[in-house]
Amino acid sequence: MNRPLLVVGAKGQLGRQLCDEASRHNNVVAAGREDLDITQAEAVRRLVGEALPRAIINCAAYTAVDKAESDSEAAHAINALGPEYLARAAAEYGIPLLHVSTDYVFDGGKSDAYREADPIAPLGVYGRTKEEGERRVRNTHSEHIILRTSWVYGPYGNNFLKTMLRLSRERDELRVVADQRGCPTATIDIARALLAAESAASSGRAKWGTYHFAGAGVTTWHGFAHEIVSAAARAGGRSVPVIPIATKDYPTPAKRPPNSELDSSRFVERFGYKSPPWQERTREVVEALLVPAEAR
């Protein structure tokens, strides 16, 4: 019998997209937080032992970057300890673990794209706890793939793209930081990348380790917002000006890396899946959210 894929954090924006995509060809066990709290080691072990999946994909995380600054215990439990419990259970049952991580493990001081071997130096609690989660996975279970991604958006959950669409309806102009650069990455592409990696891992073509995977191209939050609003205007939404501002004019509790561009070439070379240009996916996602399917 075909063993299922176990998707953990299945109700988040990435988890939902991954379950949609994976269930087209696979038997999927989708575990939301109410089905599995990854901070409970025994519950993790029990579910993995019952489901006996062919691979575990962890999309669960504490992702509220600013809130994490004053809630570090919860962020640590979910981002650092949870991944270790998943890795322990995966190791016990001999199952590969795919774990999603972040560009925020870097401080953003590099002038060009980050590669996997670049030194990590997280700026805040979120990045530090995610980095510790990576380390715990590496130290616990050799059969792992850690996928670092960035600036995640898609049709589900909360994300920057959906916030910009809402604000463009509510406000007459948007003010967005123009001095932080990175790669917007669509959940559909991360889902496909994870499935490509899982298929290689489960068929014995193991290529364990840490990889970067992000949308092709680089922009600023301002550039991303501009593309979103332009695409929305073409799809019948309001056209509002998007004003560039500096990070210092938009203070937040957590510091953000000024550059978090990820170089995905190692992933593409090993697993063969490449994201389309971020602008193309942005337009598709905006259109899918704004234009009824029958009118497209």
Ligand X SMILES: NC(=O)c1ccc[n+]([C@@H]2O[C@H](COP(=O)([O-])OP(=O)(O)OC[C@H]3O[C@@H](n4cnc5c(N)ncnc54)[C@H](OP(=O)(O)O)[C@@H]3O)[C@@H](O)[C@H]2O)c1
- Interface with ligand X, residue 151, by CB under 6 A: yes
In the complex with ligand X, the residue whose CB is nearer, 83 or 237, is: 83
- Interface with ligand X, residue 96, by CB under 6 A: no
| Amino acid in position 114 | Y
In the complex with ligand X, the residue whose CB is nearer, 45 or 234, is: 45
Single residue of 44, 61, 194, 231 touching ligand X by CB under 6 A: 61
Neighbouring-strand partners of residue 100:
147
Window contacting ligand X (CB under 6 A); options: 136-144, 151-159, 234-242, 279-287? 151-159
Tell me the C-alpha distance between 268 and 264, whole Å. Answer: 6
In the complex, least distance from residue 204 CB atom to ligand X, rounded to whole angstroms: 26
In the complex, least distance from residue 255 CB atom to ligand X, rounded to whole angstroms: 16
Alpha helices in the chain (DSSP H): 13-22, 41-51, 72-76, 82-93, 125-140, 160-170, 187-202, 221-234, 265-271, 278-290
Q: How many residues does the chain have?
A: 296
In the complex with ligand X, the residue whose CB is nearer, 7 or 174, is: 7
- Interface with ligand X, residue 100, by CB under 6 A: yes
CB-count burial class (<10 Å; 0-12, 13-18, 19+) for 24:
exposed
- Interface with ligand X, residue 259, by CB under 6 A: no
The token duo for 81 is: 């300890």
Single residue of 44, 59, 164, 167 touching ligand X by CB under 6 A: 59
- Interface with ligand X, residue 220, by CB under 6 A: no
Neighbouring-strand partners of residue 243:
175
Single residue of 6, 14, 123, 262 touching ligand X by CB under 6 A: 14
DSSP, collapsed to helix, strand or coil, labels residue 245 as strand
- Interface with ligand X, residue 180, by CB under 6 A: no
- Interface with ligand X, residue 286, by CB under 6 A: no
In the complex, least distance from residue 153 CB atom to ligand X, rounded to whole angstroms: 7
Which residue has the closest beta carbon to ligand X?
Answer: 12
Report how far apart the first and last C-alpha atoms of the chain are (Å, whole number).
40
| Amino acid in position 216 | A
In the complex, least distance from residue 152 CB atom to ligand X, rounded to whole angstroms: 4
- Interface with ligand X, residue 149, by CB under 6 A: yes
C-alpha closest to that of 103 among 15, 251, 212: 212
How many Cβ atoms sit within 10 Å of the Cβ of residue 75? 25
CB 161 within 8 A of CB 285: yes
Number of residues that bind ligand X (CB under 6 A): 27
Single residue of 26, 63, 129, 210 touching ligand X by CB under 6 A: 63
Q: Which of 62, 85, 104, 126 is catalytic?
A: 126
Q: Is 126 a catalytic residue?
A: yes
The token duo for 265 is: 């070439």
Tell me the C-alpha distance between 146 and 98, whole Å. Answer: 6
Q: Supply the residues annotated as catalytic.
A: 126
Residues that bind ligand X (CB under 6 A): 9, 11-15, 33, 36-39, 59-63, 78, 82, 100, 102-103, 130, 149-152, 157
